[in-house]
């Protein structure tokens, strides 16, 4: 591991030098690629340098203990030596985690799709609750959120809603949200107070970059249409909404959130590229079956991942067996602790598999 870290530090210094060269600085593509690599290496190299500094400190203290010292000085040196050795062990474990293969999509923006599942209107209302929850968390975490498309119901729910979350590391924070979310509560329309179980599905897709997905203009049909809304709401009388059909896959994308047809077209194309990239990723993952063992649950969207129980005020994530009794705060966007727990569990699983 230390040899790998030494090689990584050498590469880090090489990139640092290249970034100061005029021909690299003027080449936007090369400069961006090098900056991305430099940024990924920075936390590893900073931790490695801390390890080397602590290791040298430990060696110096060990040498000091081999020399004649008075009692007080020996006690102080022995205590500092013990602390340095303990710190070295911690740093080595932290370096093991930093050296785990990173998901190449972790730094990307994400497109999130929420669809109502079993439960009729109650499921659509729950989909709206999830959209609000993710919106509030994204805002508090410093991400930018923009609505792409929404199919509203009369009571304010969503049959489906699609939105983009932009910001550094968005996919790394949201990727474990893919799956079936189950709610248990008494619907407002239930006169006898009976608890109903409903579901909504969430799909989190890393945004595709232009270099990753190319779309042949001959493969798409672009149509303009009037925007639609629940009960006549939000209807734009001009044909600013856009529908794009991808003929090879049959994927249909609609975008109506912008007043400009050009902006809706750009958003729809971005959504299509992301969907096609997701298909590509799914095919790659299916070819590498072992990858499934390294995931807490980001691949199977039919998997029931979480239950929101209103009568008991609890949220249970079934993948890691974690239950929190803070439903109100959770639904108000305070989901960071759950996301951290999922990331920790995923990291532990990868470390275990790496050891095996």
pLDDT per residue over 90-138, tens digit each?
999 899 888 888 888 898 899 999 999 988 999 999 999 999 999 999 9
Angle between helices 71-98 and 28-65 (to 10 degrees): 150
pLDDT at 29: 84
Mean pLDDT along residues 314-338: 96
Hey, what domains does the chain have and what are their CATH numbers?
2-98 (no CATH), 110-348 (3.30.70.1660)
pLDDT at 284: 63
Token pair 């893919």 is found at 178
pLDDT at 302: 61
Q: What angle do CA 67, 73, 79 make, to 5 degrees?
A: 100
- The tokens describing 335, both together, are 């989901």
Mean pLDDT along residues 260-265: 83
Token pair 């990331």 is found at 343
Nearest of 285, 284, 309 to residue 297 by alpha carbon: 285
pLDDT at 290: 43
Mean pLDDT along residues 155-179: 93
Mean pLDDT along residues 32-51: 91
pLDDT of 235 higher than 80:
no
pLDDT of 344 higher than 60:
yes
CA dihedral 62, 64, 70, 73 (to 10 degrees): -70
pLDDT of 163 higher than 50:
yes
Mean pLDDT along residues 160-187: 93
Alpha helices in the chain, H assignment, sequence order: 2-18, 22-25, 28-65, 71-98, 121-140, 170-174, 261-287, 327-331, 336-355
DSSP 8-state assignment for residue 176: G
Mean pLDDT along residues 294-315: 75
Q: What angle do CA 74, 84, 45 make, to 5 degrees?
A: 150
The set of residues, in sequence order, having a beta carbon less than 8 Å from that of 48 and lying 6+ positions away, is 5, 8, 9, 95
pLDDT at 81: 94
């Amino acid at each position: 591991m230390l040899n790998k870290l030494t090689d990584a530090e050498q590469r880090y210094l090489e990139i640092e030098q290249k970034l100061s060269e005029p021909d690299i600085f003027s080449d936007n593509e090369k400069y961006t690629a090098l900056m991305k690599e430099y940024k990924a290496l920075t936390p590893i190299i900073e931790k490695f340098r801390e390890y080397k500094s602590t290791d040298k400190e430990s060696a110096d203290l060990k040498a000091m203990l081999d020399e004649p010292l008075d009692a007080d000085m020996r006690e102080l040196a022995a205590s500092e030596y013990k602390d340095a050795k303990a710190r070295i062990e911690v740093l080595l474990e932290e370096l093991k985690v930093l050296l785990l293969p990173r998901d190449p999509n972790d730094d990307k923006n994400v497109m999130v799709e929420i669809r109502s599942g079993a439960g009729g209107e109650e499921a659509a209302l729950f989909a709206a609750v999830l959209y609000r929850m993710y919106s509030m968390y994204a805002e508090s975490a410093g991400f930018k959120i923009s609505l792409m498309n929404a199919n509203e119901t009369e009571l304010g729910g969503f049959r489906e809603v699609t939105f983009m979350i932009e910001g550094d590391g968005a996919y790394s924070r949201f990727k474990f949200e893919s799956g079936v979310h189950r709610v248990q509560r008494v619907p407002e329309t239930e006169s006898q107070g009976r608890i109903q179980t409903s579901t909504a599905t969430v799909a989190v897709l890393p945004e595709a970059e232009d270099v990753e997905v190319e779309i042949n203009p001959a493969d798409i049909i672009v149509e303009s249409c009037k925007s639609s809304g629940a009960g006549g709401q939000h209807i734009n009388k001009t044909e600013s909404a856009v529908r794009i059909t991808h003929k090879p896959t049959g994927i249909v994308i609609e975008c109506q959130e912008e007043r400009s047809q050009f902006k809706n077209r750009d958003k729809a194309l971005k959504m299509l590229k992301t969907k096609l990239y997701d298909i590509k990723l799914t095919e790659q993952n299916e070819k590498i079956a072992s990858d499934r063992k390294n995931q807490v649950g980001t691949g199977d969207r039919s998997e029931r991942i979480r239950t929101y129980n209103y009568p008991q005020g609890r949220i249970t994530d079934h993948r890691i067996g974690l239950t929190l009794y803070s439903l109100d705060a959770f639904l108000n966007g305070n989901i960071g602790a759950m996301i951290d727990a999922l990331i920790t569990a995923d990291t532990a699983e990868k470390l275990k598999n790496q050891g095996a």
